[in-house]
Structure 1
């Protein structure tokens, strides 16, 4: 396992313990002169999507990239695809095992069908600027208790036998993120959309997408030019910009 050089102009901050790397990002964003990765060896109050908690025992990976993208706010969500693609690249580089990893829309990385990692994007308003926190959590050594109806969590060491240090993963992740971010900036979202679909779990199979107010059952037919989920339902084809996705366990698992 050999990491590419650390990306030029990107900072690195290693903390022994913090409440949340995204919370730390919000505290320091206004003082930063450029993008910076914040890694915590222990996170005591991590959080996931929709305000849910994120269990993070010692030995797991918890990091946030603080960015200041110069683009309309509606484009910021595309960083979840940058992060997912980069994280899968980093994990493959660390383990040497491309089979088994897959991406679950919109922002989870799966290993052998179980949830290995999650990504949380949060905007950070500062005077005269809008920053973005890209939070990433990976179960390197410990998997949390499963939640009813959700994809069962897994950890990297139990599934692969690879004991990966969080800072070693960060040294692989940061260059991979910079590489995919460069593609987004140069070529737009389409190359990332195509790459995501090549790695997507359950493409062409039935899934359930739950928003705050609605539940949609249908066939996962892709993602559109804005990153929204495309579902073919009994009522026709729809797009879902944001939702929690659940799998039909009667369907085959292509990523196992």
Structure 2
């Protein structure tokens, strides 16, 4: 895990933020002005970023370009960007960010609310229904967030609210290059190809929300023994977007915070309807291992997908035990 004290960060997060948001090279003088520093101080902060593993491309005429934000800077930056008093941990490798969050809930109870755990690599990453989540190092984002809220926060409510937030944040990152849809219950897609996924696991007193995003994944990164995977998966890079993973991570987490803490459920439901790729479509699903075929009518925030079966019966299918065939 990266180690940094909130009171003694290894870098100045404000300088890193300026470089992350820059649309092109910046002169040292411009960096200094944006951050309220002298040129000498700005040069010293750039040196600290390099020492912390950031890759900076320097041009004598054009200025400085951040090409990669070193992983050891992520914890400082996220603690600054997401707000004080929040537990943030960044791992180069761990078993599962979901399990780390479970440990935080056990240790801190309600005080663990909002805790964020990020991993460059997971040896036991997982998706829904016991599936594995595998991504090469540097090709994407994998993180989990603790949610300790009201008693009505069912898996279905957290799942669809998070999916909406992730879809909206990634569509902004795409800058109009593509529309982002939601394939219930947990896939965030572009043109039917998975760009991100959501996993919600309930605990007795809280829930753990896991998110995986394909940012820099390329077709050559996908396993050759699964040729159809190239037709089912995409990434920001494959969609023609060059961006910093750290900037995408911060934007997605802030969008999830907004959805969970401040946006009314009715508003989120309407946003979900606008992005749902299955609404009013005839679908085949498995719920608790039993086949269900029918038309998707709507989504209930707490009880799950509302489907009119071919027999005419209307059923509610919870996200935790249902999958699309």
Q: State whether residues 109 and 116 of structure 1, in contact with CA within 8 Å, keep that contact through their aligned partners in structure 2.
A: yes
Aligned pairs (5 A) from 1:29-40 = 29-32=105-108, 33-34=111-112, 35-40=114-119
Aligned pairs (5 A) from 1:172-211 = 172-184=251-263, 187=264, 189-211=265-287
Inter-partner Cα distance in structure 2 for 1:43 and 1:177: 22
1:82 paired with 2:161, answer: yes
Deviates more, 1:90-99 or 1:48-57: 90-99
1:245 paired with 2:321, answer: no
Cα separation, partners in 2 of 1:218 and 1:191, compared to 1, 3 Å: same
Inter-partner Cα distance in structure 1 for 2:81 and 2:258: 12
Q: Which residue of 2 aligns with 1:50?
A: 129
> For structure 2, which runs of at least 5 residues remain unmatched after alignment?
1-19, 22-77
Moved beyond 4 Å, runs of 4+: 1-5, 143-149
> For structure 1, which runs of at least 5 residues remain unmatched after alignment?
247-256
Name the SS of the counterpart of 1:220 in structure 2: strand
Structure 1 residue 26: Cα displacement: 1.5
Q: Which residue of 1 aligns with 2:300?
A: 224
User: When the two structures are aligned, how many residues end up with a matched partner?
Assistant: 236
Q: Deviations over 1:88-132 (max 9, x none)?
A: 12212222127331011111100121111111111235xxxx121
Q: State whether residues 116 and 154 of structure 1, in contact with CA within 8 Å, keep that contact through their aligned partners in structure 2.
A: yes
Inter-partner Cα distance in structure 2 for 1:219 and 1:148: 27
Name the SS of the counterpart of 2:203 in structure 1: strand
Scaled by the length of structure 2, the TM-score of the pair is 0.65
Cα separation, partners in 2 of 1:196 and 1:8, compared to 1, 3 Å: farther
Name the SS of the counterpart of 1:192 in structure 2: helix
Give the alignment's Cα RMSD to 1 decimal: 2.7
Scaled by the length of structure 1, the TM-score of the pair is 0.81
1:71 paired with 2:147, answer: no
Determine which structure has more spread, i.e. the larger CA radius of gyration: 2
Inter-partner Cα distance in structure 2 for 1:81 and 1:22: 18
Aligned pairs (5 A) from 1:138-153 = 138-142=213-217, 144=222, 152-153=232-233
Q: Which has the higher helix share?
A: 2
Q: State whether residues 93 and 172 of structure 1, in contact with CA within 8 Å, keep that contact through their aligned partners in structure 2.
A: no
Greater relative contact order (Cα < 8 A, sep 6+): 1
Structure 1 residue 165: Cα displacement: 3.4
Q: Deviations over 1:193-241 (max 9, x none)?
A: 1111111113222211112331112222211242511222220133222
Q: State whether residues 19 and 43 of structure 1, in contact with CA within 8 Å, keep that contact through their aligned partners in structure 2.
A: yes
Q: Which residue of 1 aligns with 2:209?
A: 134
Q: State whether residues 117 and 144 of structure 2, in contact with CA within 8 Å, keep that contact through their aligned partners in structure 1.
A: yes
Inter-partner Cα distance in structure 1 for 2:212 and 2:206: 20
